[in-house]
Amino acid sequence: MSGDVLGRGATRAPLALASLVALGSLVVAALAACSPAPDPTPTTATEAPAVARPMPAEVPAPAPVAFAPLRGTIVDSASPAHPSIAVKIDDHEAARPQIGLNRADIVFEELVEGGLTRYAAVWHSDVPDEVGPVRSIRPMDPDIVVPFGGLVAYSGGQEQFVSMMQDTPIVNLVFDYDDTGLFHRADDRPSPHDVILAAREAVDRHVDLAPPAAQFAYGSTDPLAPAGFAAQPTGRIDLVFSEERFPSWEWDVPSATWLRSQEGAPDHEASGERLRATNVVALRVEIDWSYGDVPRTVLVGSGEAWVSAAGRTAHGSWSKASREAPIVLTAADGSPLRLAPGTTWVELVPTDGSVTFTP
């Protein structure tokens, strides 16, 4: 009997173990079903350290700028803070090539005795160490120079003309009376075409004087493009002052400047550069012969004008209300005739001369 009991116990033990295993599996499955889903984003054991981003540097304020009053170009605001200097420059054949003309802001060409011409050149934006040859004053020069203020330099002249210039508010620097060392004679040039001025030093000695006022209105690099100006394409300008002087200008596309010739030959300065200008302004002017054989260009008044810039020429008029007033250029439609920013030559052509423009 005991054998029977033992036999039945041995059979029941494996069944109970199997039941427990099955129950455990059910519990594990139930727990798994109730657990939250795992985060699919992989994690690392340590976070990467935050990278320090540099703070942006302080942006400097833009440098203050100004317009060069005699060129209309943008310059550093401090650079115009000095006077201009106007100098009478010789144009006799023996005076060529002249020194520093391409660095002048504005050059006036005027008729003098014998049918020759002479220059009243004004430097402000770019004053050379030396300019020349310096020659004598003429009766129209006060009307040209006074609107600029500052300084005027010349070698002398008839007493009446010197007095006319000295009676203006302009500081006169005169070679005949100079004891300051601003003038000297060049050994390699014939007299009287040999007087040279230390222009930069002259200006530096008078920095207390005011800079010049603007003389002309300026526009874009192609200021005559608007249809209202009716500007004509121009490749060449021919000017006749007299039988002795007939300069010309040719538009040079690569340099965007007018290149000068005199009496049919290319005109150069002492640096070897061809004389050039951004703008050529031609004014028809009356001549006053009340000083004998010395002509006086009449500048207080009005007359016919042409402005040539960027290979175009527009016709209009000029006017000057007084000695102290600048020259005003007006287009045929009544609007201002504007120049291109840069250097300018003003050709004061007598009414008995001529001005011709060729496409």
- Predicted confidence (pLDDT) per residue in 272-305, tens digit: 999 999 999 999 999 999 999 999 999 999 999 9
Distant-in-sequence, close-in-space partners of 13: CB < 8 Å, separation ≥ 6 = none
Domain residue spans of the chain: 65-358
Domain 65-358 matching CATH 3.50.90.10: the answer reads yes
Over residues 105-133, the pLDDT tens digits come to 999 999 999 999 999 999 999 999 999 99
Q: Rounded to an integer, what distance in angstroms lies between the CA atom of residue 91 and that of residue 89? A: 7
C-alpha torsion sign, points 161, 167, 170, 174: positive
Residue ranges of the alpha helices (H) in 35-130? none
Instruction: Give the number of other CB atoms < 10 A from CB of residue 167.
Output: 10
The CA distance from 198 to 269, in Å, is 17
Which residues are registered as beta bridge partners of 250? 236, 259
Neighbours of 11 (CB within 10 A): 8
Question: What confidence tens digit (pLDDT) does each residue in 305-350 have?
Answer: 999 999 999 999 999 999 999 999 999 999 999 999 999 999 999 9
pLDDT of residue 48: 53
The residue assigned the tokens 């300019």 is: 131
Lowest mean pLDDT among 49-53, 193-197, 241-245: 49-53
CB within 8 A of 57, min separation 6: which ones?
none
Question: Which one-letter amino acid corresponds to residue 119?
Answer: Y
